[in-house]
Amino acid sequence: MSQAVTLITEQVRERVRRDGVDLGRDRSLTDRYVRDAVRSYSERALSGSLPMLADENQAAREIVASITGFGALQPYFDDVEVEEIWINRPDRVFIARNGVSELTRVELTDSEVRDLVERMLQSSGRRVDLSSPFVDASLPDGSRLHVVIPDVTQKSWSVNIRKFAARIRDLQRLVALGSLTQQSAEFLRMCVLAGQNILVSGATQSGKTTMLNALLSAARPGERIITVEETFELDLTARDTVAMQCRQPSLEGTGEITLRRLIKEALRMRPDRLVVGEVREAESLDLLIALNSGLPGMCSIHANGARDALAKLCTLPLLAGRNIDAAFVVPTVAASIDIVVHCELARGGRRRVTEIVAPSGQVSAGVIEASTIFASPRGALEPTGSYPTKAAKFRAAGFDPSTILAGGLG
């Protein structure tokens, strides 16, 4: 931001404080304030007392972004190709396009970073300070914000913004993008319609949330879907949907609402399908208990592979307390999870499904037996010839997986 633009921005801010208005609620008022300030500056610049503006329209856009948007980051919010923005330190601002990161030319100051974070948190009601050095929040447009401050970080504030984008709405879109084959998409659609419990696994940014959205688009129109997340990320179009997110404790340490609490509350809301955005800790136990009661559900988990995801899901419930042991958890996971879909982010930024696995429900030597239904030995998903051994839900829904896995798309 040039010295002239900085000066005009401060003049607009001073007028806003003097008039006591909220420019965030009235774009036309913002444009008028900025236009007046730019015109006034240009008139004074003609006398030679101030440097001329090279482009008044560009200057006006920068000022509006600084006052009502997110300053120097606003162009990246406006760029639909940018998926994520992060700040390691004020002079190290990165973005990601198509899964590939790049260093921008943006250079901020410490105070500008703090001002940006405060502006982002303004609508969320959440806070970040020495007593609470982490914050996870949703921006008004649905983007996800995560902030860590010193002394947890070494010197500078660390900021990550995972932008909200127009979600991939269905499995066919994933087929068009090359993330799935038509055959595997039809199989997954049948699994959703049959009420199979689906676990989506993968690394960070591998497309787990996108996959959950696409799978849920295949649900029956009359289903009541309850979603619970740490912060809102799922974007469902179903007509009967309730979305809930966690809440941080207040300054007094009260009022916290955890994922475990949300899962328990969701069960009282007459769900036809329960969706947990991601399981990381003891809430996995509550999810397993819900799924084991016959309620169809989905969730995601960080893992390196489909079988690793099952192993991890057998470990996380042990965090719930000493009275929970593997002798209970492992058979419960084997009985509860019907399908595991593993997503991968390739080095070039391409997101794809690399494996679809179906647990058999049996445990051998403490390991859950599972059949690989689709694999990608040559880079694209191919059927392996194995069929899901849990056939009861398919039969009850009137489906036969062999009609798809044998080669047809019926």
| pTM exceeding the 0.75 threshold for the entire prediction | yes
Please give the Cα distance from 338 to 324 (Å, whole number).
Answer: 22
**Residues 48-68: tens digit of each pLDDT:** 778 888 888 888 887 877 777
Please give the Cα distance from 264 to 296 (Å, whole number).
Answer: 15
Which residue pairs from 240-248 have beta carbons closer than 8 angstroms and sit at least 24 positions apart in sequence?
Answer: 242/269, 245/138, 248/126, 248/127, 248/132, 248/135
Torsion angle of alpha carbons 277, 278, 282, 283, nearest 10°? 10
Please give the Cα distance from 201 to 14 (Å, whole number).
Answer: 50
**Residues 164-200: tens digit of each pLDDT:** 766 677 999 999 989 999 999 999 999 999 999 999 9
All structural domains of the chain with their residue ranges: 1-68, 69-165, 171-405
| pLDDT > 50? residue 366 | yes
Mean pLDDT in residue range 231-251: 87
- On whether the CB atoms of residues 399 and 370 are closer than 8 A, the answer is no
Least confident of 112-116, 357-361, 371-375: 112-116
* Average predicted confidence (pLDDT) for the chain: 89
- On whether the CB atoms of residues 330 and 366 are closer than 8 A, the answer is yes
Mean pLDDT in residue range 114-135: 82
Mean pLDDT in residue range 235-257: 85
| pLDDT > 90? residue 370 | yes
pLDDT at 24: 61
Reported as a pLDDT band with limits 50, 70 and 90, residue 339 is very high
pLDDT at 165: 66
**Residues 59-99: tens digit of each pLDDT:** 888 787 777 778 788 889 888 889 899 999 999 999 998 78
Highest mean pLDDT among 159-168, 295-304, 345-354: 295-304
* HSE (side-chain half, CA atoms, 13 Å) at 79: 14
| pLDDT > 60? residue 409 | no
Q: Give the residue with greater pLDDT, 22 vs 241.
A: 241
Q: Classify domain 69-165 by CATH architecture.
A: 2-Layer Sandwich (3.30)
Q: Classify domain 171-405 by CATH architecture.
A: 3-Layer(aba) Sandwich (3.40)
pLDDT at 153: 93
- On whether the CB atoms of residues 239 and 221 are closer than 8 A, the answer is yes
The 3-state DSSP class for residue 18 equals helix
Reported as a pLDDT band with limits 50, 70 and 90, residue 29 is confident
Mean pLDDT in residue range 152-175: 87
Reported as a pLDDT band with limits 50, 70 and 90, residue 408 is very low
* HSE (side-chain half, CA atoms, 13 Å) at 327: 2
pLDDT at 395: 96
| pLDDT > 80? residue 232 | yes
